[in-house]
Amino acid sequence: MYKSFLIKYGEIAIKGKNRYLFEEALVCQIRYALKEAEGEFHVRRLQGRIYVDAAGEYDYDEVMQALSHVFGIVGICPVVLLKDEGFERLAEDVIAYMDKVYPDKHLTFKVHARRARKNYPMDSMELNAALGEKILEAFPEISVDVHNPDVLLCVEIREEINLYSMEIKGPGGMPVGTNGKAMLLLSGGIDSPAAGYMTAKRGVALDAVYFHAPPYTSERAKQKVVDLAKILSKYSGPIRLHVVNFTDIQLFIYEKCPHEELTIIMRRYMMRIAEHFARANGCLGLVTGESIGQVASQTMQSLAVTNAVCDMPVYRPLIGFDKNEIIAVSEKIDAYETSILPYEDCCTIFVAKHPVTKPVLKTIERSERKLEEGIEERMKTALETTEVIEIK
Ligand code: ATP
Ligand code: MG
């Protein structure tokens, strides 16, 4: 029965000029998300509100699903839009609405009228009382509860009259595109997709880089990362995924450096390469799925040594999360089932029995000097042979 949806968004964060940018980006992201749903939709802004109108047939659940991916949306209200044809007609429409939406009338309600158009002949208090009375007359089983009603019927008098009583919670956050772009180090694990989601939620668009080590990591492991990027792109918008062939660099480190330092040195090369592509793509920072103390390469000392190779800020949105909290995010975004598929990871293949947990920068830098002859050309080859996959 609904042809339109009223989109509610958080207005506290958006003052002055930012409001326009916020709304523009939100409209743009809503249009992108609705491509997932069958049917034709129009998204429009009107007097500080955003409406989605369905042009014809559509699937309600699909639309809800699509809109639930759009950051910046706080609530989605299926709305009936009416022309103002006088109070009596409004009362009839309100009764018809209640009848259709609530087949079982054993409920309490409250009318919440708002007169945004000041030339309407009744004020909101009068409307509350008059419409309440009409509803009570029409349905004897219904009763009023002004404190804790089952149904809060909103009647907003605007250009058109907005009639709605349901608000489906949106994901919150900021529309993607309002806060620049970041480069996500995306592995096939649980953490990095969750980190990408958290970053996109703050309005940051994403590109991604994945370090692939064939033949040690398989095509299926790569496909898993592509699949995770697809899941993520439902929230973040299109992602340019860079697949870096990391094998030669890893083998070279393995050959030249102490094995207990492999992971940390390898991670430093990942960061260097990620930063290169971040700059080339206009990203303002790097994002990883690290969390303090989770593994040897994520102690405070290890993070400091990894960080030391980057000039760009490195964002770690999961830094204070326990694994179960990360899993909750992963499940919420429907990435978990994909993340736990048991394909090999380039980090685990060359992992030492006893990796250093408290690396010292000077020591690591000394070890890296053993790579001087040969690493440059391997880096160059890795950059040149990187495959770019556009994820939409
Ligand atoms: P994840 O679940 O994201 O794989 P993890 O718990 O396995 O994380 P690490 O393997 O130490 O932790 O990796 C830490 C972070 O480094 C990851 O969250 C990710 O951002 C990045 N990373 C690790 N391996 C890769 C890879 N092969 N390609 C791209 N980024 C990677
Ligand atoms: Mg991993």
At 305, which helix (H) or strand (E)? Answer: helix 300-307
CA separation for the pair 209, 277 (Å, rounded): 8
Q: What percent of the chain has pLDDT over 90?
A: 89
**Is the Cβ atom of 210 under 6 angstroms away from ligand 1?**
yes
391 CA to centre of ligand 1 in angstroms = 20
| Span of 23-32, 220-229, 349-358 with lowest mean pLDDT | 349-358
Q: Which residues, at least 6 apart from 136, have a Cβ–Cβ distance to it below 8 Å? A: 142, 143, 144
* Residues 47 and 116: beta-carbon distance below 8 Å: yes
What is the pLDDT confidence band of residue 316, given thresholds at 50, 70 and 90?
very high
pTM, 2 dp = 0.92
Tokens of 128: 């509350």
Q: Which ligand is nearest to the CA of 263?
A: 1
Given a contact cutoff of 8 angstroms between Cβ atoms, the answer to whether 172 and 274 are in contact is no
Instruction: Please say whether the dihedral angle defined by the alpha carbons of residues 166, 168, 169 and 172, taken in this order, is positive or negative.
Output: negative
Q: Is the beta carbon of 249 within 6 A of some atom in ligand 1? A: no
Testing ligand 1's pocket by substitution, the residue of 183, 184, 185 carrying the most ligand atoms inside 8 A of its CB is 185
Interval 323-364: pLDDT, tens: 999 999 999 999 999 999 987 776 666 778 888 999 999 999
For residue 373, give the 3-state DSSP assignment.
helix
pLDDT value for 349: 67
Residue 384 alpha carbon to ligand 1 centre in Å: 22
**For residue 12, what pLDDT is reported?**
61
Atom of ligand 1 nearest to the CA of 209: 29
pLDDT in tens, 85-98: 999 999 999 999 99
22: how many CB neighbours lie within 10 A of its CB?
Answer: 22
Give the mean model confidence (pLDDT) for residues 43-67. Answer: 93
Q: Which helix (H) or strand (E) holds 182?
A: strand 181-185
CB under 8 A, 24+ apart: contacts of 294-297: 294/191, 294/323, 296/263, 296/355, 296/356, 296/357, 297/263, 297/264, 297/267, 297/347, 297/355
Cβ–ligand 1 distance for 346 under 6 Å, the answer yes
Mean pLDDT confidence for 20-26: 90
- Whole-angstrom distance, CA of residue 334 vs CA of residue 314: 25
pLDDT in tens, 241-287: 999 999 999 999 999 999 999 999 999 999 999 999 999 999 999 99
Whether 183 is in the pocket of ligand 1, judged by its Cβ within 6 Å, is no
Write b or e for each residue in 101-137: b if 16 or more Cβ atoms lie within 10 A of its Cβ, otherwise e: bbeeeeeebbbbbebeeeebebebeebbeebbebbee
**At 273, is the secondary structure helix, strand, or coil?**
helix
